[in-house]
Amino acid sequence: MAIKKRHSRPTAKRRRAPVTAQGPLGPSVTKASSVATSDLTSSVFQHADPLLALKLLTPKDAETTSTTSSLLAVKGSQSASRQKSSLATAQLIRRYHTLNKELSKCLTKLNNNAGNGTKSELSIARRSTPDQTAKELSRIAEIRKEMDDLGGLDMYQKASTLGQSKQRGGDSSKWLIPVLESCRPNMNKKTDPPLRLLDVGALSPHNYKRYSSWITTTPIDLNPQDPLITKMDFLEMPIPPKQDQLFDIVCLSLVVNFVGDPAQRGEILRRSAKFLVPGTGILFLVLPLPCIQNSRYMDHELLMEMMASLGYTTLVNHHFAKKLVYYAFQLDRGPGSSLKKVQPFSKKLRHDKPNRNK
């Protein structure tokens, strides 16, 4: 189904935003076994189950979410000093993303080798030798070590917080607010029930605080940087069982691109629809501009098709800024209507240009 464009672009006021955090949702985090990482002994590599071997390679005190985000949330065990220059923070963020993606690829391969992949993945995996598995494990240990040396997820988040500081242009909520206002022109912000916003991957619990009279926020993150943020993996967050527990807004600001595994990226988008009120719910999606404008495989039109297949048939608004792209989609699926099985979108070359990202 084609996406309809609804509103013209609002004039976003440049404000830093803040909010009300809601109660705990119940963490879904497990600790991985605490065995030294650097000790890559051949006995580990010879382990019959590569996933078990991987656990043995998990750094001491590393925190992981259970299955879905697997071992991506490596927490820095060393206190690296806070990087101040914007170049340094940008470099750190970029390197962390690259490592995260490579780590996901290695983990997927191992998972397939352990017999947990799809049919076609498994047939490829069956051809991999113990040597290849050992190589994979060794590379995973190297990646983890580098992530840890960088300061882990914690340092990545601190760098990202710097990236959203006032001096660097503020956080992305300032674009969303006028969009929400345009969606609810008749809302009485003082007397109407507040809009419920789920902020996934929140670095601060205060992004919408300024609007707390009409927006109530539930901030969650894999590794909360503030006690008001609930420690929660969105991929494991229980889907609200009742209609009146659904959210009016789900915010995925720079979260989808953070996730290294393409299947998990898709799952995050697919899941978002299950948390929203059908008919009025808004998905706020923020991505780095190159993900849409400089990719060989993805562009604005394909994203529209994918989102429409999930029920997001109205593009309420979008904005291509210098570095980021902002989307507000409305979940149009009516109450009670079930989604047809979504056809998979296979990886197809759309822009065969040498300077485009792979």
Residue 253 is a binding residue for ligand SAM (CB under 6 A)? yes
- Longest Cα pair distance anywhere in the chain, in angstroms? 67
End-to-end CA distance of the chain: 27
Q: Is residue 201 part of an annotated ligand binding site?
A: yes
On whether 266 is known to bind a ligand per the annotation, the reply is no
What is the distance between the alpha carbons of residues 312 and 269, in angstroms, rounded to a whole number? Answer: 10
- In this chain, which stretch among 76-84, 252-260, 309-317, 325-333 interacts with ligand SAM, using CB under 6 A? 252-260
Binding-site string for ligand SAM from residue 278 to residue 317, where x marks contact by CB under 6 A and - marks none: --------x-------------------------------
Contact 93, 160 (CB under 8 A): yes
Q: Which stretch binds ligand SAM (CB under 6 A): 28-36, 39-47, 117-125, 218-226?
A: 218-226
Q: Is 150 in the site for ligand SAM (CB under 6 A)?
A: no
Q: Which of 20, 223, 272, 314 binds ligand SAM (CB under 6 A)?
A: 223
- Per the listing, tokens 């065969």 go with 352
Amino acid (1-letter code) at residue 18: P
Regarding 220 and contact with ligand SAM (CB under 6 A), the answer is yes
Least Cβ distance, residue 113 to ligand SAM (angstroms): 24
Q: Which of 141, 162, 200, 298 binds ligand SAM (CB under 6 A)?
A: 200
Q: Is 164 in the site for ligand SAM (CB under 6 A)?
A: yes
Site size toward ligand SAM, by CB under 6 A: 24
- Closer to ligand SAM by Cβ: residue 230 or 317: 230
Please tell me whether residue 221 binds ligand SAM under the rule CB under 6 A. yes
User: Contact between 160 and ligand SAM (CB under 6 A)?
Assistant: yes
59 touches ligand SAM by CB under 6 A: no
Q: Is 275 in the site for ligand SAM (CB under 6 A)?
A: no
How far apart CA 332 and CA 304 sit, in angstroms, is 14
Residues in contact with 273: Cβ distance below 8 Å, sequence separation at least 6, in sequence order: 281, 283, 310, 311, 312, 331, 333, 339
Q: How far is the CB of 23 from ligand SAM (least distance, A)?
A: 17
Q: What span, in angstroms and rounded, lies between the C-alpha atoms of 336 and 37? A: 49
Point out which span in 78-86, 195-203, 287-295, 309-317 binds ligand SAM (CB under 6 A): 195-203
154 binds ligand SAM (CB under 6 A): no
Closer CB to ligand SAM, 216 or 253, in the complex = 253
Residue 92 binds ligand SAM, judged by CB under 6 A: no
Query: Residue 78's Cα: distance from chain center in Å?
Result: 25
Q: Does 217 bind ligand SAM (CB under 6 A)?
A: no
Annotated binding site for S-adenosyl-L-methionine: 201, 221
Annotated binding site: 201, 221
For ligand SAM, the binding residues (CB under 6 A) are: 69, 153, 157, 160, 164, 171-172, 200-203, 220-223, 233-235, 253-255, 258-259, 286
